[in-house]
């Protein structure tokens, strides 16, 4: 069963390469995938949101979610699972960007994107939360398009990211409650 799932993972990537990749779209998917590099876009967005008192809770939630997601994804799961990147294994798969330096499962770009977006969807007005979720989804899909992750890596990153987004939101509520208690006791 596991072998069949792994085989299907590779076949999906080859299908994307053979039937969805288009030369005229390559620049877009490369640009989108690089938006997720190191979570920098989401980190900067979280920092920007800290400046306004109105959006500060959203910034705190996003940054905490990113921290939780990075700990789970990059510190624990990637090193524990140690899955080799698909371009190293799937015969005929062409890599569209530079080789990645870490393991494949789960997708860190996807985890960070969904962590921040899920925290922001709970703390920002609906239209901005929706924009963040759409961007997270497009970044996740870009990882398949450029050939650096298996579909199961992206799904794993989404699961971790959704959990981290919820955890960041809950942690933000705890932090804000403590800050409010301190402010009232002064």
> Any idea which residues carry the catalytic annotation?
109, 149
Q: In 3-state terms, what secondary structure has residue 17?
A: helix
Yes or no: say if 144 and 151 are a contact pair by the CB < 8 Å rule: yes
Contacts of 144 by beta carbon, 8 Å cutoff, 6+ apart: 12, 13, 16, 151, 154
What is the per-residue DSSP string for 35-58?
Answer: HTGGGHHHHHHHHHHHSSTTTHHH
Nearest to 129 by CA among 169, 159, 179, 71: 169
Contacts of 69 by beta carbon, 8 Å cutoff, 6+ apart: 111, 112, 114, 115, 160, 161, 164, 165
């Amino acid at each position: 069963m596991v072998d069949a799932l792994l085989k299907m993972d590779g076949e999906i990537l080859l299908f994307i390469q053979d039937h969805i990749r288009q030369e005229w779209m390559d620049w877009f998917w490369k640009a989108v995938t690089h938006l997720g590099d190191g979570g920098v876009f989401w980190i900067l967005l979280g920092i920007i949101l800290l400046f306004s008192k109105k959006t500060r809770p959203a910034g705190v939630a996003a940054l905490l979610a990113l921290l939780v997601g990075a700990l789970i994804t990059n510190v624990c799961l990637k090193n524990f699972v140690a899955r080799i990147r698909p371009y190293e294994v799937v015969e005929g798969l062409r890599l569209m960007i530079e080789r990645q330096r870490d393991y494949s499962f789960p997708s860190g770009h996807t985890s960070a994107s969904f962590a921040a977006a899920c925290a922001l969807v709970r703390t920002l007005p609906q239209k901005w939360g929706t924009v963040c979720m759409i961007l997270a989804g497009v970044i996740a899909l870009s990882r398949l398009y450029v050939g650096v992750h298996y579909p199961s890596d992206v799904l794993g990153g989404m699961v971790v990211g959704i959990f981290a987004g919820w955890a960041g939101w809950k942690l933000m509520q705890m932090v804000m409650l403590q800050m409010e208690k301190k402010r009232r006791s002064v």
